[in-house]
A and B are shown apart, each in its own frame.
Chain A
Amino acid sequence: MNTIHYVLLAFVVGFAGLYARSPKNPKLALAWLRIGVLGAASLAVLAPFVWLVAAAFKDKAYLNEYVFFPPLSEWSSKTLNLDNFRVLFAGDPTIQGTVYFWQYVVNSLFLATATTMLQLFFCSAAGYALAKYEFRAKKALMTFMLASMMIPGVLLLAPVYEMMVKLHLVDSFKGLLLPGIVSAYGIFLFRQACLGVPNEMIDAGRIDGCSEFRIYLNLAMPLVRPMSAAFCLVTFLASWNWVWFHPCGRGGSGRLT
């Protein structure tokens, strides 16, 4: 028997007690169960993160000494310090010269930002076209897009890599950026959002002599701004996390301690 067992036992006893008091209408017992189970699940999710933060600040020699942070009485510059960060930012000597960690960060930031901006523009344009125009082959195009989302990415890994070799894009920013500047997922998202743009407004724009592109940019886009914000967030996160595994493998988000 140790602490974890006592806590578990107390939880079960508490639940049983509350349930026994009013088995017909176990509101309190359910609330107890809810908080307990959700709390336990949250702890399980958070524990690795807490461990990670602790590990980042603990001195190398003390990494395995304590599970999380050392007890308060032993806090000192010997157990907790910024050495890990000093090493991280100190730079890594390679054949191409010293590489600093902040260069990785800048790479990742640049790629994620560029991908997000380009995707925002290209996906919304395509989504708007699919929502607000009737043209030949539109149905076929939509079907193709849906199907293309089902293709496992890895199937394309090998041929895309070959393509990159042919186009001389291996090991370059262009190669990392280009395939990611538009996505079927984003287009669908924007198509759904653009369906809500009133046709009357588009017609009014046409009568006033707006070009089709201006209608999209100045009339439709402001109306789907909330969707754009959500889209940017999701895309940025995805591309920030994604960099590592890519046909031309470069960079690396390297956000470990």
Chain B
Amino acid sequence: MSAPKQLYRGWAPWLLLAPYLAITLVFTLYPLLNAAVLAFYQTNGPVSRVFVGLGNFRFLLTDPVFYKALWNTCVFAVCSVFLQLPLSMALALLLNSGNDRLKGFFRLVLFSPNLVGQIFVGILFSVLFTPRYGLINRFVQELTGWGLEEQWLGNPALVMPAIVLTGLWVYVGFNMIYFLAALQGVDKSLEEAARIDGANRLQVFWNVTLPSMRHVVVFVVVTSIIGSFQLFELPLSLLPASNGRGPDNSGLTVISYLYEVGFNSGDLGLGSAVGWVVALIILAISTLQIRLSGAAEEA
């Protein structure tokens, strides 16, 4: 069903769109431009501002703390794509391989962490990681005999693993739902044909199933990377004592960095510069990703 083809000349569509336009203008478009301008200023609270040209960007490129934040964020992004998504895919495949009452139950349970907020998850896990008494410490101890007294959130080497682990708990089920929906749309007869031609399960998955759900895979990969770069609430609530920085900035993400310089130190100008850098990185990665998958499709 397509929309009527002739140009509608009345005011009706604009009236219906008016609230969106007004809100977007005030709370998206104007702030966006404002951020672009602000990035060239040094500010101190909402009152004073000094034009510094590219100074903010120059500062960022020489600030080791910013690189640390960028590194942590990339670690989380890599873990989401290469650890979390394969897990989601495996669970989706297992769920999809049978069709019984258990399927609905497992799906609901695995998705359930997404019904509560990130802050909630962060606070909950900060307790579960307690040395000696934390659920996770106890479990790891039972399994491997190590780590009962380990301070996950106090040891710089273990902070990122803890954040990644918490991220896994939340997002594996979330991405699994996407994969599951895509799997159900895969043409069964293609898989059957491949099986008859003598392909084993792995070959069928790699050569038939995965290519036919590539659009969803690309979408999930891109949104995962974008989500990783916006990681903020999880480390903030996991490490509330240090505003999400953790010992030696081991849990600092780029957005925590933005929050730190923009709101705690009061330099919204530098904060805006960080925001623009992050936005450009996200844009570059998404574009690259979509280009690559498009090129693969043509080849």
Give Cα A197–Cα B1 distance, bound, in whole angstroms: 8
| B19 and A182 form a contact (CB under 8 A) | yes
B102 interface residue (CB < 8 Å to A) = yes
B128 interface residue (CB < 8 Å to A) = yes
Give Cα A228–Cα B57 distance, bound, in whole angstroms: 45
| A159 and B98 form a contact (CB under 8 A) | no
B252 interface residue (CB < 8 Å to A) = no
> 0/1 per residue, A27-64, Cβ < 8 Å to B?
00011011101100110111111011001000000011
- Using known A-B contacts A45-B109, A154-B278, determine if residue A129 contacts B12 with beta carbons closer than 8 Å: yes
- Using known A-B contacts A67-B135, A135-B13, A212-B10, determine if residue A155 contacts B115 with beta carbons closer than 8 Å: no
| A132 and B4 form a contact (CB under 8 A) | yes
| A133 and B8 form a contact (CB under 8 A) | yes
Residues of A within 8 A of B32 (CB): 151, 155-156, 159
> 0/1 per residue, B26-70, Cβ < 8 Å to A?
111011101100100000001000000000000000000000000
B138 interface residue (CB < 8 Å to A) = yes
Instruction: Please tell me which one of the listed residues A67, A182, A244 contacts residue B23 in the complex, with CB atoms under 8 A apart.
Output: A182
> 0/1 per residue, A127-142, Cβ < 8 Å to B?
0111111111010010
Give Cα A165–Cα B31 distance, bound, in whole angstroms: 13
In the complex, identify which listed stretch (B146-154, B155-163, B211-219, B225-233) lies at the interface while the others stay far away.
B225-233
B203 interface residue (CB < 8 Å to A) = no
Within 8 A of A (CB), among B65-91: 90-91
B17 interface residue (CB < 8 Å to A) = yes
B167 interface residue (CB < 8 Å to A) = no
A148 interface residue (CB < 8 Å to B) = yes
Report the minimum CB–CB distance from B262 to chain A (whole Å): 5
| A152 and B229 form a contact (CB under 8 A) | yes
| B3 and A44 form a contact (CB under 8 A) | no
Instruction: Please tell me which one of the listed residues A5, A51, A129, A256 contacts residue B128 in the complex, with CB atoms under 8 A apart.
Output: A51
B206 interface residue (CB < 8 Å to A) = no
Residue of B nearest to A55 (CB): B127
Residues of B within 8 A of A230 (CB): none
Report the minimum CB–CB distance from A175 to chain B (whole Å): 11
B189 interface residue (CB < 8 Å to A) = no
B110 interface residue (CB < 8 Å to A) = yes
| B117 and A241 form a contact (CB under 8 A) | yes
Give Cα A242–Cα B118 distance, bound, in whole angstroms: 9
Residues of B within 8 A of A129 (CB): 12-14, 16-17
A222 interface residue (CB < 8 Å to B) = no
Instruction: Please tell me which one of the listed residues B31, B109, B112 contacts residue A156 in the complex, with CB atoms under 8 A apart.
Output: B31
Give Cα A204–Cα B195 distance, bound, in whole angstroms: 53
Most buried by A among B20, B32, B105: B20
- Using known A-B contacts A52-B124, A255-B120, determine if residue A155 contacts B135 with beta carbons closer than 8 Å: no
Residues of B within 8 A of A178 (CB): 23, 27
Give Cα A160–Cα B119 distance, bound, in whole angstroms: 22
Residues of B within 8 A of A122 (CB): 19-20
- Using known A-B contacts A37-B94, A253-B117, determine if residue A64 contacts B283 with beta carbons closer than 8 Å: no
| B3 and A135 form a contact (CB under 8 A) | no
> 0/1 per residue, A184-205, Cβ < 8 Å to B?
1001000000011111001000
Residue of A nearest to B108 (CB): A42
| A158 and B27 form a contact (CB under 8 A) | no
- Using known A-B contacts A38-B91, A212-B12, determine if residue A155 contacts B3 with beta carbons closer than 8 Å: no
Instruction: Please tell me which one of the listed residues A46, A150, A152, A196 contacts residue B109 in the complex, with CB atoms under 8 A apart.
Output: A46
> 0/1 per residue, A233-255, Cβ < 8 Å to B?
00001001110110000000101
B95 interface residue (CB < 8 Å to A) = yes
| B31 and A159 form a contact (CB under 8 A) | yes
- Using known A-B contacts A156-B32, A160-B27, determine if residue A48 contacts B128 with beta carbons closer than 8 Å: yes
> 0/1 per residue, A2-37, Cβ < 8 Å to B?
111100000000000000000000000011011101
- Please name 12 further chain A to chain B contacts, defined as beta carbons within 8 Å, in addition to the given A3-B142, A47-B139, sorted by A numbering: A33-B94, A41-B91, A41-B172, A46-B109, A67-B135, A152-B255, A154-B278, A156-B32, A157-B258, A161-B263, A184-B24, A237-B115
Name A residues whose Cβ lies closer than 8 Å to a Cβ of B: 2-5, 30-31, 33-35, 37-38, 41-42, 44-49, 51-52, 55, 63-64, 67, 122-123, 125-126, 128-136, 138, 141, 148, 150-163, 165, 178-179, 181-182, 184, 187, 195-199, 202, 212-213, 216, 237, 240-242, 244-245, 253, 255-256
A-B contact pairs, 6 of them (CB 8 A): A38-B110, A41-B110, A48-B124, A148-B24, A155-B279, A213-B16
Name B residues whose Cβ lies closer than 8 Å to a Cβ of A: 1, 3-10, 12-17, 19-20, 23-24, 26-28, 30-32, 34-35, 38, 46, 90-91, 94-95, 97-98, 102, 105-106, 109-110, 112-113, 115-120, 123-125, 127-128, 132-133, 135, 138-139, 142-143, 169, 172-173, 226, 229-230, 232-233, 255, 258-259, 262-263, 268, 271-272, 275-276, 278-279, 282-283, 286
